[in-house]
Amino acid sequence: MNVQRHFSLQFVFLVPALLSLVILSLAITNYYQTVNRYIDVEYSRIQRALIRSTKAVAAIDYSFAAFKEKRSDLFLKHSRIVEDGLCRMWPIDALLTGQQGTMVASPLKELNYMMVGSPEMCDPQNPLYRRASQQVAMAPMLSFLHDFDSYLFGVHFIDREGYVFSSPDTLSKNITKQLLDTIRARSYWIEAAKSEPQISLVGPSTSRIITKRILSLVVPFFFKEQYQGMISLDIDAPKLLQNSQVLASNIRIINTRDETIPFSARRVHKVELPEVQTHHALYYQIDWGSEVQRFFALEKYSLIVIAFIYMLSVIVLFYVNSNMERSHFKALAAKDPMTGLLNRRGLEDFWRNTLKSGDIALAVLDIDNFKSINDTYGHDIGDKVICYMADKIEHNIRGTDAAARFGGEEFVIYLTCGDRDQMQTIMQRIKQQICEDSHLIINGGFTVSGGVKVTRVSERSDFEKLFKAADEKLYIAKTSGKNQLVF
Closest CA to 472 of 455, 487, 483, 459: 487
Considering the domain architecture, whether residues 354 and 471 belong to the same structural domain is answered as yes
Average pLDDT (210-226) is 79
Considering the domain architecture, whether residues 381 and 450 belong to the same structural domain is answered as yes
Considering the domain architecture, whether residues 284 and 348 belong to the same structural domain is answered as no
Look up the pTM and report it: 0.60
Bridge partners (DSSP) of residue 156 are: 166, 232
Closest CA to 180 of 120, 238, 125, 224: 120
Question: Residue 486 is inside which H or E element, if any?
Answer: strand 485-486
- % of the chain with per-residue pLDDT over 70: 83
Least confident of 60-64, 372-376, 464-468: 60-64
Closest CA to 171 of 136, 134, 146: 146
Residues 29-35: contacts with CB within 8 Å, 24+ apart?
A: 30/299, 30/302, 31/295, 31/298, 31/299, 34/246, 34/298, 35/246, 35/247, 35/248, 35/291
Considering the domain architecture, whether residues 286 and 359 belong to the same structural domain is answered as no
Considering the domain architecture, whether residues 281 and 388 belong to the same structural domain is answered as no
**Residue that terminates a domain, selected from 244, 271, 290:** 290
Average pLDDT (209-222) is 78
Considering the domain architecture, whether residues 271 and 364 belong to the same structural domain is answered as no
Considering the domain architecture, whether residues 244 and 375 belong to the same structural domain is answered as no
Examine residue 164 and state whether it is found in any structural domain, yes or no: yes
Domain that holds residue 182: 46-290
**Residue that terminates a domain, selected from 290, 324, 355:** 290
From residue 123, give the alpha-carbon distance in Å to each of 120, 128, 175.
5, 8, 20
Q: Name, in order, each residue with C-beta under 8 angstroms of 326's C-beta and a sequence gap of 6 or more.
A: none
pLDDT of 114 over the 90 cut:
no
Examine residue 262 and state whether it is found in any structural domain, yes or no: yes
pLDDT of 283 over the 70 cut:
yes
Q: What is the pLDDT of residues 447-466, one digit of tens each?
A: 999 999 988 766 555 788 88
Examine residue 142 and state whether it is found in any structural domain, yes or no: yes
Examine residue 22 and state whether it is found in any structural domain, yes or no: no
Examine residue 34 and state whether it is found in any structural domain, yes or no: no
Q: What is the pLDDT of residues 319-331, one digit of tens each?
A: 777 777 676 666 6
SS3 label, residue 167: strand
Residue 422 is part of a domain; what is its CATH number?
3.30.70.270
Question: Residue 154 is inside which H or E element, if any?
Answer: strand 152-159
Residue 190 is part of a domain; what is its CATH number?
3.30.450.20
pLDDT band at 107 (very low <50, low <70, confident <90, very high): very low
Give me the numbers of helices (H) and strands (E) for the chain, helices first please: 15, 17
Q: State how many domains the chain has.
A: 2
Half-sphere exposure of 152 (CA within 13 A, CB side): 25
Q: How far apart are CA 399 and CA 158, in angstroms?
A: 106
**Residue that terminates a domain, selected from 290, 316, 336:** 290
Q: How far apart are CA 63 and CA 42, in angstroms?
A: 31
Considering the domain architecture, whether residues 118 and 260 belong to the same structural domain is answered as yes
Examine residue 333 and state whether it is found in any structural domain, yes or no: no
Considering the domain architecture, whether residues 356 and 278 belong to the same structural domain is answered as no
pLDDT of residue 200: 85
φ/ψ (deg, to 5) at 483:
50, 45
Examine residue 97 and state whether it is found in any structural domain, yes or no: yes
Examine residue 423 and state whether it is found in any structural domain, yes or no: yes
